[in-house]
Structure 1
Amino acid sequence: MKTIYASTSDYSFKKPTGVGLGNFDGLHLGHMALIDTLINESDLHSLESVVYTFVKHPENIIRKKLFTPLITTLEKKIEILSKRGLDYVYFEKFDEKYSRIKPEDFVEGILVKKLKMKLAVAGYDYRFGYKGEGDINLLKELGKRHGFKVIVIPPVKLEDEIVSSTNIRKYIKKGDMHKAFLHLGRHYSIKGQVERGKGIGRTLGFPTANISPKSYLVFPKKGVYITKVKIEDCIYPSVTNVGNNPTFGGNSYISVETFIMDFNKDIYGKEIEVFFIEKIRNEKKFSTIEELIIEMKKDLLKARKYFRSEYCT
């Protein structure tokens, strides 16, 4: 898969393409249905498959005061898409100038002339162009005018609920990692470089790997979670606390601190990925250090019980 950034590349497509249109934050089950259709239909019609998306979330450019936290980093998007069999992912720079492009000019100037699009695959609620004036009906009209086919992907539902990035953010913020997992089709994860913390966990007998995730990501609700950690190519069972450490005076920022079970290697400076599986409890301020240690031991027991049942079934 070739990755193209419109802001730094004048790449010219030589062959006709099939293009998947959307923001694709989260790359959830609905997005994957669209992408799989794009790949299959492109193969059937001898087209090169392209996912056309954005470096930044359009809402964070248009609605400056209403910030939308992201589910997936740019790096994670590329990682997931590279495993699907796509030919290209094309990252457009969404800025003030781009936001003023008329729907017809976007389709003709970018999709048809630049990307050589012969097939467009989009979700049922896809909007494009200035103020979102373009919709699926207009896309179909323009398809007839410019000679490209349009495939519209209907909503994907789970238990009568539409799978959407908005709903997934809601579940992550509530700490409902199981619902987030069902809608994403994978466990929600956060990557970061292991930093040296205050060493509090080590003094309590629970040394943790501390990371400071990107602030634009959606954070799970404060609390303790059963997690798995990926370090290089290995996966380890773990317990993770997301919060401000209120027992020790509290931080002004949210930290992600992971105790990796039966693990004693030095991983300072290494990048790890934490996968959130199940919430154990909310974050709590304890009256004494002893109370905290007792609760942490309970958390660890619950996690060990979870992993034993996982591997024995």
Structure 2
Amino acid sequence: MKIFNSIDDFTPGNGTVMTLGTFDGVHLGHRKIIERLLQSAHGGLETLILTFFPHPRMVLQDDNDIRLLNTIGEKCGLLAETTLDNLVIHPFDKNFSRLTAEAFVKDILVGKFNIRKIIIGYDHRFGRNRTADINDLIQFGEAYGFEVEQISPIEIDEIAISSTKIRNALLSGDIALANQYLGYEYFFSGTVVRGRQLGRTIGYPTANFHISETYKLIPAIGIYVVRSIVNGRMVYGMMSIGTNPTVGGTTQTIEVHYFDFQDDLYGADITVSICCKIRDEAHFESLELLRQKLDEDREFSLRYIASRSSGS
């Protein structure tokens, strides 16, 4: 898959079959659209997805509180797993939002992408102030010589419901449901930084993670089973997202205790996939009681890992 960081960087060949959208999560609903896109490409036509960054809501609504399932890097990685030919990530700004519908079609879809077919939702709106709809797009297709295939209301609802359910599931700590809709384990990537180093005093040293992308959605506070590829091998562990109330913490942290692993990870960039939730965060009256609970968490995690390995 070729990645282009601007519409202007893309040079069309014989023509494209394309779709556009945020594709946040690249979940099972999105993958149905991608499959249809791939099936429509024949006769030397290339497949293309047009997406935008920053998210339009960040620009048009000054919505700095929006949380996304994927960073732009994660989205690229997930889409690269498909056989998609081209991904165009165009910088979204207010100037771009002011393009008229016809200018968008004529100058970009036709002029830049040499479009032959577009697969789009029946409820898609575009152009300045989002005044144009699917009927306008069909008329433009007839005028400029490209086909418009509509995604049905049922399919659109499935995609929208999946995205909403994934976010809500993660925010409530229901990792199992989120992973079911995603079709993969929810993950984040971060840099290991120095923490308070309290975990090692009770036998549970942790890697403290810093995620630079503030728009990345972090699941609910709680304790989770996780896995990572570290130094070329798969390692499992248990992760705490929370404030460490037992030791008087007030700032939310993300800490992972990896099992049977002693390598120095400071400064390393690591991806953490979340397998399942163990329990909610709790306050304990002493570090000894916390340690005993962590022993139980470890036993739960090891049983879970063993069940995955056996396929049961």
Q: CA deviation at 1:161?
A: 8.8
Partner of residue 119, structure 1: 117
Identity %: 34
**Which runs of structure 2 are paired with 1:126-165 in the superposition (5 Å)?**
126-154=124-152, 155-156=154-155, 163-165=161-163
Partner of residue 24, structure 1: 23
Any conservation in 2 of the 1:163–1:183 contact (CA below 8 Å)? no
Any conservation in 1 of the 2:14–2:44 contact (CA below 8 Å)? no
Q: CA deviation at 1:65?
A: 4.1
Partner of residue 170, structure 2: 172
Is 2:88 the counterpart of 1:90? yes
Partner of residue 199, structure 1: 197
AA partner of residue 228 (structure 2): V
Counterparts of 1:163 and 1:173 in 2: how far apart (Å)?
A: 15
SS in 2 for 1:192: strand
**Which runs of structure 2 are paired with 1:296-307 in the superposition (5 Å)?**
296-307=294-305
Partner of residue 2, structure 2: 2
Counterparts of 2:26 and 2:257 in 1: how far apart (Å)?
A: 28
Any conservation in 2 of the 1:59–1:67 contact (CA below 8 Å)? no
Q: CA deviation at 1:137?
A: 2.6
AA partner of residue 53 (structure 1): T
Counterparts of 1:145 and 1:271 in 2: how far apart (Å)?
A: 50
1:264-288 CA-to-partner distances (Å, cap 9, x unmatched) read 1222221111111211111122221
1:17-64 CA-to-partner distances (Å, cap 9, x unmatched) read 11121111111111111112112211x242111110012111111111
Counterparts of 2:93 and 2:221 in 1: how far apart (Å)?
A: 33
Partner of residue 39, structure 1: 38
SS in 2 for 1:27: coil
Inter-CA distance 236–153: structure 2 relative to 1 (3 Å threshold) = farther
Inter-CA distance 35–233: structure 2 relative to 1 (3 Å threshold) = farther
Is 2:224 the counterpart of 1:225? yes
Is 2:208 the counterpart of 1:181? no
SS in 1 for 2:4: strand
In the superposition, the TM-score normalised over structure 2's length comes to: 0.92
Partner of residue 102, structure 1: 100
Q: CA deviation at 1:236?
A: 1.5
Inter-CA distance 122–259: structure 2 relative to 1 (3 Å threshold) = same
Q: CA deviation at 1:162?
A: 5.4
Any conservation in 2 of the 1:191–1:273 contact (CA below 8 Å)? yes
Q: CA deviation at 1:251?
A: 3.5
AA partner of residue 241 (structure 1): S
Any conservation in 1 of the 2:19–2:49 contact (CA below 8 Å)? yes
Any conservation in 2 of the 1:99–1:129 contact (CA below 8 Å)? yes
Counterparts of 2:269 and 2:33 in 1: how far apart (Å)?
A: 31
1:181-212 CA-to-partner distances (Å, cap 9, x unmatched) read 11111111010111121111111101111111
Inter-CA distance 19–240: structure 2 relative to 1 (3 Å threshold) = same
Structure 1 residue runs of 5 or longer lacking an equivalent are none
Counterparts of 2:137 and 2:64 in 1: how far apart (Å)?
A: 28
Counterparts of 2:133 and 2:169 in 1: how far apart (Å)?
A: 28
Counterparts of 1:301 and 1:32 in 2: how far apart (Å)?
A: 36
Any conservation in 2 of the 1:18–1:120 contact (CA below 8 Å)? yes
1:66-101 CA-to-partner distances (Å, cap 9, x unmatched) read 631010011111111112111111011111111122
In the superposition, the TM-score normalised over structure 1's length comes to: 0.92
SS in 2 for 1:143: helix
AA partner of residue 2 (structure 1): K
